[in-house]
Amino acid sequence: MTIRPLVILPDAVLRRVSDPVGPITPEIRTLVADMFETMYDAPGVGLAAIQVGVAKRVVTIDTSKEEGVRDARVFIDPEIVWASAEKRIYDEGCLSIPEYYAEVERPDRVRVKFRDIEGAVQEIEADGLLATCIQHEIDHLNGVLFIDHISKLKRDRVIKRFTKAAKRDAA
C-alpha cells in the first residue's frame, strides 16, 4: 500500500466529473488500498479517488470515532437514491482544502446504492456523520466541493487564499 499525494485546491482536477468504475480490476483494488492508507495517514474520515488524481467513482470512508477501532467502508459507483427532507448542519472540512472548516447544511439521512469491493450491489441508509460524509464524497465524484455549499463571499475568500498559497509554493 502506498500513500498517494493529495490534490489540493485550486487544482482543476478537483472539478472533473469521475467515470463509472466498471469491472473491479486489480488496479481498482490497489487504488482502494492506497486510498485507505492515504486517508488514515492524513488523517481524514473520507476520501474520493479524484482527491488522489484518479477520476473514478470510488469513495473510502471511516467515521469510527473510537481510537483503535476501524470501520473501513468502500463505495464503488455510489448513488443517492433517497434523501430525507430533514436537514442537518455539520462543520465540514476536506483533505483537499486543508485546515479550512465551514458549516454545511445537507439532508440528515440518505439511502445510498453502491457496489462493494467484490462488485456486489448494496444499499444502506446512513445518518449522522456517515450521511454527511457520503454526501460530501459523492459531491467530489461530480466535481463539487463543500465550499460550493457556502456563501459566494466565503468561497471566493478561501479560493483566493489557496490560490495565493499555491503560487507561493510554486515560486
Q: Which residue is nearest to Zn ion (CB)?
A: 94
Nearer to Zn ion, 49 or 94 (CB): 94
Give, as ranges, the residues between 35 and 94 that touch Zn ion (CB under 5 A). 94
The question of whether 86 is a catalytic residue gets the answer: no
Phi and psi (nearest 5°) for 24? Answer: -85, 95
Nearer to Zn ion, 28 or 94 (CB): 94
CB of 137 to Zn ion, least distance (A): 7
Q: What is the DSSP letter of 45?
A: S
Closest CA to 126 of 69, 68, 45: 45
Task: Mark residues 87-126: x for contact with Zn ion by CB under 5 A, - for none.
Answer: -------x--------------------------------
CB of 118 to Zn ion, least distance (A): 26
Phi and psi (nearest 5°) for 47? Answer: -150, 140
Nearer to Zn ion, 49 or 76 (CB): 49
Q: Please check whether residue 18 is in contact with residue 50, taking contact to mean a CB–CB distance below 8 angstroms.
A: yes
Residues 6 or more apart from 74 whose CB is under 8 A from it? 32, 36, 58, 59, 60, 61, 116, 117
CB of 121 to Zn ion, least distance (A): 25
**Rounded Cα gap, residues 22 and 35, in angstroms:** 18
CB of 171 to Zn ion, least distance (A): 27
Contact positions toward Zn ion, by CB under 5 A? 94
Q: Which residues are catalytic?
A: 137
